[in-house]
Amino acid sequence: MLSQVAQTMHKFVKQCENKQVLNLYNQIEQGKMLRSKLILLIAGQTPQAVELCAVVELIHLSSLLHDDVLDEASTRRGKPTIHILFDTKTAIMLGDVLYSKAFSQLSLIHKDVAYCISSAVTALSIGELLDIELSKSFNTNQELYMDMINKKTASLIEASTKSAAILSNKDRDKFAIYGKSLGLSFQIIDDILDITQNSETLGKPAMSDFKDGKTTLSYMLLYQELSNDDKTKLKSYFKKSLTKDELSWIKNNMTKHDILNKTKQIARQLAQNGLNAIKNEQNKKLFDIINDILNRER
């Protein structure tokens, strides 16, 4: 069924009637399609659900095109990013073409779904803005981090599960809570993988968040545990290209204070909130997908 989503995305891009757009689009590596998996599990495999999936995936793809420009990322999913293969202007405009086309298609679906998804795009754009603001200095405020990942990542996942519930006449509020909780734990796990995995597995450089100014949850939890001298040391490493020894110092301290388990426990608790919201649903796969997210290694 995910292949039908990919085909529909391709059909939408073809409808833009521009060879350059199609050519650029064909060079983007497809992702895990988490949002589509959720939509299809909740709404069932209907043609309308597939169209919604294609819309959401195109929005997600365009947000990543813009994100890679903003983050100056040279690889994604193990391949050079579009702004490296071509240039920044091309990557931004391709993103604009893809998400505006997605919006045209969205306007043909369901009024409530259109409102839900388009509002999520406002939220995710604000989330990205917050991410940029937070990256300017070492952040120790967990609330600000949670608000940022809620907007940047959870908003579109929440809108996807809620919209799928709208399309299939299910309880939209419960599925919104499920999507939001799952989105938050997804991002927290993503931030852990930046610390634990190598660049080959990640398809992008390892341990790059802190260097890029992102004080993710594990760094905040570590900071709380450190002595004053070590707090100063950690802060001095912020937004710098670190030596092997300096990276080891961070990793060793994370191990010493059991930080990654503590971070994962927060992701687990959030996931549990999501599961509680849909506990009366007879849909085992919605439970499995949360476990896949918690246990994923890439």
Q: Which residues bind to Mg ion, rule: CB under 5 A?
A: 67, 71
CA gap 55, 141 in Å, rounded: 34
Residue 12 binds to ligand FPP (criterion: CB under 6 A) = no
Q: Which residues contact 265 (CB under 8 A, 6 or more apart)?
A: none
Closest distance of CB 247 from ligand FPP, Å: 18
Q: How far is the CB of 279 from ligand FPP (least distance, A)?
A: 28
Q: Which of residues 135-154 bind ligand FPP (CB under 6 A)?
A: 152-153
Burial class (CB in 10 A: 0-12, 13-18, 19+), 72: exposed
Percent helix, strand, coil in the chain, to 5, is: 75, 0, 25
Question: How far apart are alpha carbons 279 and 288 in whole angstroms?
Answer: 13
**Cα–Cα–Cα angle for 180, 182, 188, rounded to 5 degrees:** 105
Contact present, 130 and 148 (Cβ < 8 Å): yes
Give the torsion through C-alpha atoms of 265, 267, 269, 271, to 10 deg: -140
Beta carbon of residue 227, minimum distance to ligand FPP (angstroms, whole number):
30
**Residues between 98 and 137 that touch ligand FPP (CB under 6 A):** 99, 121, 124-125, 128
The minimum distance between CB 217 and ligand FPP, in angstroms, equals: 12
Distance CA 68, CA 1 (A): 28
Return the one option of Mg ion, ligand FPP, none that residue 125 interacts with (CB less than 5 to 8 A, by type). ligand FPP
Q: How far is the CB of 278 from ligand FPP (least distance, A)?
A: 23
Q: Does 82 bind ligand FPP (CB under 6 A)?
A: no
Residues in 32-71 that interact with ligand FPP by CB under 6 A: 59, 62-63, 66-67, 70-71
Q: Give the residue closest to Mg ion by C-beta.
A: 71
To which residue do tokens 């001298």 refer? 229
158 is an interface residue for ligand FPP by CB under 6 A:
no
| Residue (95 or 274) nearer to ligand FPP, CB | 95
Question: Binding residues for ligand FPP, per CB under 6 A?
Answer: 59, 62-63, 66-67, 70-71, 73, 95, 99, 121, 124-125, 128, 152-153
